[in-house]
Structure 1
Amino acid sequence: MDLTLNSYYPTNLIQSVISATCCIIIIYCVIILKRRYSSIKLTCPDYPDTIQGEETTESLVRKNCASLNRGFRASWWLPNGHAQTIYSAVADFSKDDQITYQRQLLRVPDGGTIGLDIYPPLSVNLPKTAPVILINHGLTGGSHESYVRNIVLWLTKPVEEGGLGARAGVVNFRGCASTPLTSPHLYSTGSTIDLHTSVLYLSTLFPASPMFGVGFSLGAAVMTRYLGEQGDKCRLRAGVVLCCPLDMRGVTYGLDSPHPLTRLYSLTMSHKMLHSLSPHLIPTSPLSHPTSHLHIHLPEIFSLTKSLRRRMTLKASRVLELVACKVGGGTDVFPFETLDGFLSWSCPGNWIGSIKRPTLAISALDDPIVSSACLPHKAIRQSSHVILATVPQGGHLGWFEGPLLGLNKHRRWHVKPTIEFLKANLALPEGHIGPADSSQSARYDGDWTWVGEVGWMLIDEKDEKGWSGSEEDESILC
């Protein structure tokens, strides 16, 4: 036997594997470095409307948002979108940006309850013209999320410390962040009543304050739709939407990809939605009532939560089809027969052309959930007030740029362009968006306050105790 010949092949194979591995590592490093040092690209309207004088949203961004010109350099230890996204979901942020909110529960005419968390509390006196920022959280989230606490803390810092000296109101959508679910429907990207009510409520408390909006992920979709629905009558002077799923169909079906990490995101989102929904499915819940559109689907929903096999094969699109299509809003269009019908109706990208307030959308090209293929560049170019900034890196709700260790470890880049953009709009003359509609002033009827056809009643938190059956149920919400 020729041992020399036999020993040649294993050695050659090992060398080939090593060479291939080195090539893959080099290619990966080149891709990462190219993204790291690529500039942020702006997609702007082809025929923009002016805001004030000759100022447009594009000129406002180019002159004032220096952080967009400098670009974003991801933390070296979180070099790609998957790393940024996963870290934002699993890292311990409990010691960061600690905030104590003042919660206001608003009961609305459809029976629902909105949890509005305010910081600093109403007892803290700010100047009458201090800005008010409405903030929308992401899917099944709330004011407790690290990315929300971070932006709230920065926006409410004094101007001399880099903030806006603002008061923030985080809109906890019905059923989220221990907000009691008292209506037979939930929230979705197509339902803006929770945000609209919160805007009107805070505008009655602070009539002289300019108001702005910031939204994250699903909350960014709600913010985008709201700005479009309100058009030139919107009480918000400007908005920033981060990681917004502007193309709902593309995002939803993209999560059905067989790619292992995409499957992980879809599975995680499905479990979060079911976990958030579970406390609201006790027999006394409005969602469990025989008149609820969700009632007929409860057996399948329960089977999804109890069967290990089914839990491991869950898809976000299936949970949306079972839940959001049926109870994702209180309008007459519910329930939707198909997921396609719901996604078409709830798609925030449909409203881009109707937005008449300066709006900055920021998305990462390596976002594994809202991929670059889901960014509607054509709709942005055909709009009048919306700018899309595409950042080469950042993932989904990540944008970490801090060191591996130290106090700035969790520093988030997106805070900079957000504050810069809002400051630029705040500096514009107050009359640039036109006077408020005098027919929309507040009127009072007993415990109820009405602005136009929108009404609310303040509810004491203690009056809602026991709504879900036990305190243990409340502890696992969202």
Structure 2
Amino acid sequence: MAPWTFLPNWGFRNTVNVTHSSRTVDLPLKNSPEVDGTATIPFNELVKQYVPQAAEEFKFLLKPYLFTGTLQSLYIPYADFSKSYQVSYAREIVEVTEDDAKKFTDLPAGQFTIDYVVDPIEKTPEKFKKRYEETLPEGYPRLHPRCRYYTEKELEQVFKTWGSDDKPIVIVAPGLAGGVNEPQIRAVGEKLFNSGFHSLVLNSRGCCRSPLTTPHLFTGLHTDDMRLVVNRLHKQFPDKQIHLAGFSFGGVIISNYLAQEGSNSIISSAVTVSSPWNLLDSCTALNSSYSGRNIFQPAIIYFLNKLVQNNRETLKQASDIYDEEEFNRVKKTFKTTEDFDDKYTGPLAGWPSGATYYLASSPIMRVFKIKTPLLILNSKDDPIISTAYPYHEVEKSPYLYMATCDLGGHYSFIDIHGKFWYVDVINEFINAFYNNVDQTRKLDDHGFNVKQGGFRDTIDLY
């Protein structure tokens, strides 16, 4: 037997396979008469017609030497992208007061940060450096290249520019340790910016050099930061389409947010890339592979421990859960991500264990509540999450369209030209909605109701 037959899902000729319901939601087209029989296009046909890279049997070549999902996923942290995707970001600190928190179901007081893609005010590196030093809050971590804090006056100018056109807004939710430090996020930001779209990165609390100011670690069900930002932007730009793009864990937050909003969603469309649907199953999958146990899981545990270490003074406020001396002892014993989440993430968020947190936060538990057109992108050789994707559920919902590639790894999909396949997919998908879909009209879901036959549309754990 040839030695390469022991390599699962290997190669560099990639093929896209598509799953969707027999009748996807009908999207009303722009510039059609407002009478019965308004011109529409089915969701799956919109993707097929305007986003051919995500259509059935679309083929593309990957980097030949990145011929497995593990190699694809490992390449990004070690490759030099310093001269690529040199997009600029303006950081805003969003202060959540106790009064703000009372207006939402699960919005802790404290801070989170937003990074807006901007055309930089400073035209030379020297001027940027000077302004960077002037605006960096005292005691705050230094930011990544081409990102600095903006004052309220500077942000007002950004929003004034946004209000001068009808281009859509795209909110990006990065992965577990992600943000503007990642080439994937910068690549998407650059593409959307060059298309004239307005995009921002919503950082999870404590991530991307954002300090925790209250003792709350982010979870897959902490969606109120997203909700606060969406509501604020919709109020400020009521006529603009708002789209969401979530990567890895960010896709979990987006999927849960859309499910919670249900038919009240004001989001035009959303995309998830390499996002897990069953977190408990993904934890098992990560532990079951050699690369998961020995490469990816230790990296995730290192990030989680560092998150706690960097925010230890704030976490001391939750003295019933966090003790610095105990943390320094037990952090060396964590073998799996579930060990960490069982000790800290779950209890800090009110769940009794890591496993119950995973179950409660898994989007599969509320997938049929999603009433927003959602494009799901995954690979079958993802070494970090479970590849038991929700094929049957997608077939039963008119709002979901799933494109799974044979290859691509986790959040990678690096093609033969060294580009991320999904960057163009996201851009063309949003462009298709912007140019063709009338968001002021109701979607026709053909009477979709999973409760027919006595089924429930979600599983409520608490």
When normalised by structure 1's length, the TM-score is 0.75
Deviation of 1:299 after TM superposition, in Å, equals 4.2
Aligned positions of 1:20-419 closer than 5 A: 23-25=2-4, 27=5, 32-33=10-11, 36-37=12-13, 39-52=15-28, 53-69=39-55, 70-108=58-96, 109=101, 110-120=108-118, 122=155, 123-124=157-158, 125-126=161-162, 127-157=164-194, 163=195, 165-257=196-288, 259-282=290-313, 285=314, 287-289=315-317, 291-292=318-319, 294-295=321-322, 298-305=324-331, 307=332, 310=333, 314-328=335-349, 334=350, 336-373=351-388, 375-403=389-417, 409=418, 411-419=419-427
User: 8 Å contact 1:44–1:386 — kept in the other structure?
Assistant: yes
Report the CA distance shift for 1:201/1:143 in structure 2 as closer, same or farther (over 3 A): farther
> Which of the two has higher C-alpha Rg?
1
Q: How far, CA to CA, are the matches of 1:46 and 1:293 in structure 2?
A: 51
Unaligned runs of at least 5 residues, structure 2 = 29-38, 102-107, 120-154, 444-462
Q: How far, CA to CA, are the matches of 1:367 and 1:41 in structure 2?
A: 15
Question: Tell me, what secondary structure is at the counterpart of 2:268?
Answer: strand
Q: Give deviations 1:214-243, integer Å, cap 9, x for gaps.
A: 000000110111111111221210000000
State percent identity of aligned pairs: 22
Q: How far, CA to CA, are the matches of 1:227 and 1:400 in structure 2?
A: 29
Unaligned runs of at least 5 residues, structure 1 = 1-19, 158-162, 329-333, 404-408, 435-478
Question: Tell me, what secondary structure is at the counterpart of 2:92?
Answer: strand
Q: Give deviations 1:128-174, integer Å, cap 9, x for gaps.
A: 311110000100222222111110110111xxxxx2x1111110111
Which residue of 1 is the match for residue 135 of structure 2?
none
Residue correspondences, number:
381
Deviation of 1:107 after TM superposition, in Å, equals 1.3
Question: Tell me, what secondary structure is at the counterpart of 1:176?
Answer: coil
Q: Which amino acid aligns with 1:77?
A: Y
Report the CA distance shift for 1:304/1:402 in structure 2 as closer, same or farther (over 3 A): farther
Deviation of 1:208 after TM superposition, in Å, equals 2.4
Question: Tell me, what secondary structure is at the counterpart of 1:245?
Answer: coil
Question: Tell me, what secondary structure is at the counterpart of 1:104?
Answer: strand
**What RMSD over aligned residues (CA atoms) do the two structures have, in Å?**
2.2
When normalised by structure 2's length, the TM-score is 0.77
Moved more, 138-147 or 51-60: 51-60
Report the CA distance shift for 1:29/1:186 in structure 2 as closer, same or farther (over 3 A): closer
Deviation of 1:97 after TM superposition, in Å, equals 1.1
